[in-house]
Structure 1
Amino acid sequence: MTDIILNQYVINKATSALLPAYHTDYQTTVWENNGQRFHVKKTPLQLMKAACLEGGADFDGRRAAVTHKTGITSKAPIPVIPQEQVYAFPTHSPKLHECHWLFYHHIKAIRRHPEITTHTYIIFKDEKELLLQVSYHTIERQLQRTSYCITRFTPYLTHN
């Protein structure tokens, strides 16, 4: 399989993770829930900012709205395209290169690393696994915060 390197990538409902890459030709590896993987020349944060604009607001505006509605100030989850239920959360400060972005609706479970407490397995709904150098507690908290964010941003559904 040849690696596809893209100049641009549009985050969508299939996007499950944005992984920072340490490569000379690209800066992000994108995982999609259909097994697709792409390498993109832009950073994960650049892709997130572009996706927020596509979704109707800029990244900083989305962050400010999350803080306003939830009180979350650091490592805030982002409603990337809330009308399509596309929500992502950072594993670290988005300013840091090691920040991964995980897309909430594609995560099936998280699992503690059996020996290394600073590492956590992310299990996606398509059964892919990702080992992150982030504590289980941090990932669990980010999932809870994102869930709360989703409830605050999802309009009440009317039942006819």
Structure 2
Amino acid sequence: MHTVYRITKKTKLLTHADSNYYRSYIVEEEGEHYSVHRPEEIIGRNCLSYKASLEGRLDVVKGILKSSTKLPVPIFPEYGIFLMPTASIRNPSCVWIAYHQVHHYETYKKGTYIHFYDGTGYFVNITEAAFDKQYKRTSQVIVHLNREKLFGYAESW
């Protein structure tokens, strides 16, 4: 039995691996890893290890964004770990980017190049406008989940 990769502040991204054996390709500050688990499985198990189900996290985000597509996932919101997808969860080209690792991003060829804080980067095959929308949606979720800390009051539902 393989242990599931633990998403931490050092995680930069997860995506599907182009392999017959490995299901995920993971990039973190220390390097690259592969996992036999699918990205969705890694994300779901990490949510559980941080005391919530993936479905529960997504339900909260749906309420905040009033949307049900390409939802960012608060993996461990208390420590600022949020992942944002570049495509639908079921799309094999989806890349899950760690919000806190993104320094800036720019158009590169027909996609977007993401610059991370450690000076590395990664190309994603979506437009800069689409990535910017995901980045801002994730920001919106972060503010809603931290409203009490930031402003002294919680939002009532």
**TM-score, normalising length: structure 2:** 0.89
Give the match for residue 73 of structure 1: 68
C-alpha contact 2:4 2:45 (8 A) present in aligned 1: no
CA apart distance, 1:36: 2.0
* Higher RCO, Cα 8 Å, sep 6+: 1
Give the match's secondary structure for 2:91.
coil
CA distance in 2, matches of 1:135, 1:68: 26
CA distance in 2, matches of 1:87, 1:7: 21
Q: 1:36 to 1:71 in 2, by over 3 A?
A: same
Kindly indicate whether residue 139 of structure 2 is the aligned counterpart of residue 147 of structure 1: yes
CA apart distance, 1:43: 0.9
Tell me which stretches of 4 or more aligned residues in structure 1 moved more than 3 Å: none
Unaligned runs of at least 5 residues, structure 1:
1-5
Kindly indicate whether residue 84 of structure 2 is the aligned counterpart of residue 89 of structure 1: yes
Kindly indicate whether residue 15 of structure 2 is the aligned counterpart of residue 15 of structure 1: no
CA apart distance, 1:124: 0.7
Give the match's secondary structure for 1:145.
helix
Give the match's secondary structure for 1:93.
coil
CA apart distance, 1:103: 0.5
CA apart distance, 1:73: 1.9
Unaligned runs of at least 5 residues, structure 2:
152-157
Equivalent residue pairs, number:
150
Give the match for residue 125 of structure 1: 117
CA apart distance, 1:96: 1.3
C-alpha contact 1:70 1:152 (8 A) present in aligned 2: no
CA distance in 1, matches of 2:138, 2:43: 16
The letter of the residue matching 1:149 is V
Give the match for residue 106 of structure 1: 101
Pick one of 42, 51, 54 that aligns with 1:47: 42
Matches within 5 A, 1:19-30: 19-30=15-26
Percent identity of paired positions between Structure 1 and Structure 2: 24
**TM-score, normalising length: structure 1:** 0.87
CA distance in 2, matches of 1:133, 1:21: 15
Give the match's secondary structure for 2:118.
coil
Give the match's secondary structure for 2:149.
coil
Cα deviation 1:63-113 (Å, max 9, x = unaligned):
111111231321011111111110011110001111110010000011101
